[in-house]
Chain A
Amino acid sequence: MLLEAFVVGTILCGFLGIIFKKNLVMKIISMDIMSTGVIAYYVLIASRDGLYTPIIDRTKDVNYADPVPQAVILTAIVIGFSIQALMLVGVMKLSKDNPTLETSAIEENNTP
């Protein structure tokens, strides 16, 4: 329960960071924090029934963690990572003309 509260807290921190940070790079980092929270949530739910790595071992009688959420979140990690890479490339391009990377300034310059 306490762990769950921490995880939700992380997600919320990331979300608020996306809204309140002024700098575009900070916003992207906030989004990363948010996705870290979501990943941790998956891992947490997977470990509800047991903590052992889900590789069957006949000699031991232990409770295994649920492999499905872990497998699923692996996909999500890869996707999140590639999106972040893509965003940072975009930010690099933008930084040529907007060296401060203030979101409000970029928005003002680029909205009709």
Chain B
Amino acid sequence: MTNITIVWLALPFFIGFVIYLLPKLARWLALGIALVSAAYAVQLFLDSSPLNIQLLDNFGVTLIADRLSGYFILTNAVVTSAVVFYCWDSGKTAFFYMQIILLHGSVNSAFVCADFITLYVALEVISIAAFLLIAYPRTNRSIWVGLRYLFVSNTAMLFYLMGALLVYQAHHSFHYEGLRGSPPEAVALIFLGLLAKGGIFVSGFWLPLTHSESQSPVSAMLSGVVVKAGVFPLVRCALMLEEIDPIVRFFGVSTALLGVCYAVFEKDTKRMLAFHTISQLGFVLAAPAVGGFYALTHGLVKSALFLTAGILPSRNFKELQHQPLDGQIWLALAIASFSISGFPLLSGFGAKILTSKNLLPWHVISMNIAAVGTGVSFAKFIFLPHDKLSWNRDRVANADGETREQEDGRKKLQPGFWWAIFTLLGGLVVANIFYYEAYTLTNIIKPLVTIAVGWLSYLVIFKKAVLKLPNQTEKFDHLIGVMSLMLILLFWTIWTRTQGYALA
């Protein structure tokens, strides 16, 4: 198993460069890598004992592969394959697929590593690959958005490196467990890096612009898996060290509320999805023990929504309300929205139930508010006007050719899009098997009430609301400046906690 893990980790990087040599095979190779990862994740689920690997010597690379990593790796595999399907006929160059695969590989290594330096390398490779993907269209805007992303993440990672060094100084090891007994400033610096990278709480304000201005497949990758590379180590640390756990949960709850506050007032589809990603990462962190399953469902839904939002005729909700959507596209949107709001039959339901069972008592109210907010945000999609569903309309459209579609002014949909959506939404239904115990009467009633309250408040209040929250906080200088504030906040939280532990 050790050898398999190493081969599996190295394969994407090897194939990534092979893609560049064999551009004709690019799509097939990319898809193959995603399937290999999926197979590896399944293998992790079948294996009950976690796999601990210590490479080289005492100071070498440490890896931990268990079910938690399995969930994240599976998310990565499914999202990557959906993105490859989506781009199948879009004429993307081999360079694009190469970056997708390098990104896939580095995210995978972030999901199995267990020491701070391996994680650092993985996160930096992620930044570079993500930058190249964001800047793929080569327009000024895309380059600026990419540069901004690279700047924020690199500055955060410099703080992180300092923290890693302080951990090493205390324990002569870079292992995650070294966080226990390290000075508070070490924990604060490492957390600053990870929070900024994962888009959590106020250090996550770089995320909306980056995710909304990228091309849809790239947004899907970024929102679906890449931010989770920053969140996963936090979850892992929270599970390993019980004194870290309350801090992680605290940031989880605050980011869930913050993200959803912005999401309900947002008028732009992709920005709304991006803000909602921030809030959902909070759900993952609020219950670290079951975060894996939540991350899986969220990754699938969010990439499906980003891919679908990319083909809508407009990005503005106001305009969309006057333009009936194609029935099938609406159906895809609605299924994804239902899942993320926690509607039974889709695995978002199981994930929500599981998370709410693992919350701390005083977090429950805030998380319920966040769940209602989710209902409100996605009511925007569900209540969009749309054509009637009729399954043979497709044939009619094909029969009289493209003239009809030009009349409609709609983009021609590639079959790849439907492949991608089927993969993601199918994954959502299948993922129910991970937690089928959720289906009891009381469990079913609660999310239905939450959704009903959300929809009602959407129709009554938020549909007409014109409040626009200022986006001053997303200015570049503020993004960097906020890091210093976060550092003080983190230091203060951790310091008071460790004092409490020392006294107890």
Contact = CB atoms under 8 A, between A and B. Distances in A.
Contact of B120 (A19, A42, A76): A76
B256 to A, nearest CB: 26
A103 B117 contact: no
B329 to A, nearest CB: 23
Given A34-B155, A69-B168, A86 B150 contact: yes
A31 B161 contact: no
A11 to B, nearest CB: 7
Interface string B243-274: 00000000000000000000000001000000
Given A15-B484, A87-B147, A76 B161 contact: yes
A15 B155 contact: yes
A93 B268 CA distance: 29
B155 A18 contact: yes
Nearest to B131: A86
Contacts of A68: 59, 168, 172
A18 to B, nearest CB: 5
B140 A97 contact: yes
Nearest to B212: A112
A26 interface: no
Nearest to A71: B59
A65 to B, nearest CB: 14
A93 B143 contact: yes
Nearest to A76: B161
B121 A94 contact: no
Interface string B140-173: 1101111100110011001001101100110010
Interface in A79-102: 79-80, 82-83, 86-87, 90-91, 93-94, 97-98
A110 interface: yes
A110 B140 contact: yes
A90 B168 CA distance: 35
B162 A31 contact: no
Contacts of B141: 110
Contacts of B475: 107
Bin chain B's interface residue count.
35 or more
Nearest to B147: A90
B135 interface: yes
B155 A11 contact: no
A79 B144 contact: no
A31 B121 contact: no
A59 interface: no
Contact of B161 (A38, A48, A82): A38
Contacts of A69: 165, 168
Interface in B110-131: 117, 120-121, 124-125, 127-128, 131
A109 B142 CA distance: 12
Contacts of A109: 140
B480 A18 contact: yes
Q: Is the interface of A mostly helix, strand, loop or mixed?
A: helix
A68 B174 CA distance: 10
A90 B135 contact: yes
Contact of B145 (A34, A38, A75, A110): A110
Contact of B158 (A34, A91, A94, A97): A34
Contact of A83 (B124, B140, B174, B213): B124
B209 interface: yes
B134 to A, nearest CB: 10
Interface string A22-54: 001001000100110010011001001000000
A83 B127 contact: yes
A62 interface: no
A75 B158 contact: no
A71 B56 CA distance: 14
Contact of B144 (A27, A42, A110): A110
A13 interface: no
B481 interface: yes
Nearest to A22: B477
Interface in B464-504: 474-477, 480-481, 484
18 contacts: A19-B477, A24-B147, A31-B151, A31-B155, A31-B158, A34-B155, A34-B158, A41-B162, A42-B165, A45-B169, A68-B59, A68-B172, A75-B121, A76-B120, A83-B124, A86-B128, A94-B147, A97-B140
Given A72-B117, A90-B131, A93-B140, 8 more contacts: A38-B158, A72-B168, A72-B174, A76-B161, A93-B138, A94-B144, A110-B144, A112-B268
Closest CB pairs A-B (n = 5): A110-B144, A110-B141, A79-B124, A90-B147, A68-B59
